[in-house]
């Protein structure tokens, strides 16, 4: 993404050539980075969260709220992933206007893969909560 953005600047400022293809590729690479990164941090639940109220509750209530929250996220991610699959099939051959080799279906493929990874880690953390097992390598005493 950085290289593509730098190329955009070089083409526009130095060479005085409009490069709309580089802007589109930079946008898509940002989307790829955001969704793949989001899937990667699902494993240890590193997403931003506000825990002011939850920290004041008992461990049992915290566990119940985590389970309910995970079930709600699972519902959302299932819809997200199925929608991404539908869009992969529908847009696999549709080209970007300025980049013929880049298909819109590729973006939806990244969304599909990130959705699958997020569902996997969500189910894994739900399993840890339901069984009371501690994830390997976790020093926290349980999946938080």
pLDDT digits (tens, 9 = 90+) for 78-98: 999 999 999 999 999 998 888
Half-sphere exposure for 68 (CA within 13 Å, toward CB)? 6
Gap between the Cα atoms of 58 and 66, Å rounded: 12
Instruction: Evaluate whether residue 119 is within a structural domain.
Output: yes
Domain count, the chain: 1
pLDDT value at residue 138? 59
Is 103 among the domain residues? yes
Asked whether the CA dihedral 112, 117, 122, 124 is positive or negative, the reply is positive
Range of the domain at 67: 2-131
Task: Specify the DSSP element, H or E, that contains 114.
Answer: helix 104-131
Residue 85 lies inside a defined structural domain of this protein: yes
Burial profile 7-20: b = 16 or more Cβ within 10 angstroms, e = fewer: bbeebeeeeeeebe
138 in any annotated domain: no
Task: Give a yes or no: residue 139 inside a domain.
Answer: no
pLDDT at residue 136 in the model: 61
Asked if residue 32 is part of any domain, the answer here is yes
Q: Is residue 64 part of a domain?
A: yes
**Model pLDDT, residue 101:** 83
Across-strand partners of 95? 103
Q: What parts of the chain have a pLDDT lower than 50?
A: 139, 141-144
What confidence score (pLDDT) does residue 144 get? Answer: 43
**109 part of a folded domain:** yes
């Amino acid at each position: 993404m950085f290289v593509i953005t730098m190329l955009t600047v070089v083409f526009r400022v130095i060479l005085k050539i409009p490069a709309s293809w580089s802007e589109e590729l930079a946008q898509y690479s940002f989307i790829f980075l955001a969704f793949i990164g989001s899937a990667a941090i699902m494993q240890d639940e590193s997403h931003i969260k506000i825990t002011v109220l939850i920290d004041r509750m008992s461990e049992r209530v915290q566990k119940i709220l985590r389970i309910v929250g995970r079930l709600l996220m699972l519902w959302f991610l299932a819809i997200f992933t199925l929608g991404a699959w539908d869009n992969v099939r529908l847009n696999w051959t549709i080209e970007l206007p300025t980049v013929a080799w880049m298909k819109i279906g590729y973006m939806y493929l990244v969304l599909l893969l990130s959705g699958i990874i997020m569902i996997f880690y969500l189910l894994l953390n739900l399993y840890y909560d339901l069984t009371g097992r501690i994830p390997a390598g976790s020093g926290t005493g349980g999946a938080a």
